[in-house]
């Protein structure tokens, strides 16, 4: 029997004002994942090394978590106001402009 692949979903719950996380079977959200890949909206996260077997450090995992929350804050202004973080560059929260040909 083949083990079903899983995905972790992080989202901001406006009602509870919490960042929430759940794990789902990938086949249940395959269409959504495929659409985001086709749009070029999937981000590969650096794991701290070019070696695919290298350990994942505390700092690497903090950065990945931070990227996930910043991604949610990009569409939830009420979450932005709660961020008390240091970034290398300031965030421009203005909507992205579509590419021009």
Q: What is the 3-state secondary structure (H, E, C) of 24-44?
A: EEHHHHHHHHHHHHHHCCCCC
pLDDT: is 96 or 78 the higher one? 78
DSSP string, 1-22: -PPPPEEEEEEEETTTTEEEEE
- What does pTM read for this prediction? 0.78
Which residue ranges make up each domain of the chain? Answer: 1-42, 48-94
| Polymer length in residues for the chain | 101
Write down the pLDDT at residue 73.
93
With tokens 């972790």, the residue in question is: 8
> Each residue of 78-94: pLDDT tens digit?
999 899 988 888 888 88
DSSP run (H or E) holding 5:
none
């Amino acid at each position: 029997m083949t083990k079903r692949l899983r995905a972790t979903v992080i989202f901001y719950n406006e009602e509870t004002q919490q960042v929430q996380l759940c794990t789902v079977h990938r086949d249940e959200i395959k269409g959504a994942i495929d659409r985001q890949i086709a749009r070029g909206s999937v981000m590969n996260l650096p794991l701290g090394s070019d070696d695919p077997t290298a350990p994942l450090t505390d700092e690497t995992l903090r950065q990945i978590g931070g990227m996930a929350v910043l991604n949610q804050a990009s569409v939830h202004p009420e979450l932005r106001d709660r961020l008390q973080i240091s970034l290398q560059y300031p965030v421009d929260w203005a909507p992205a402009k579509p590419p021009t040909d």
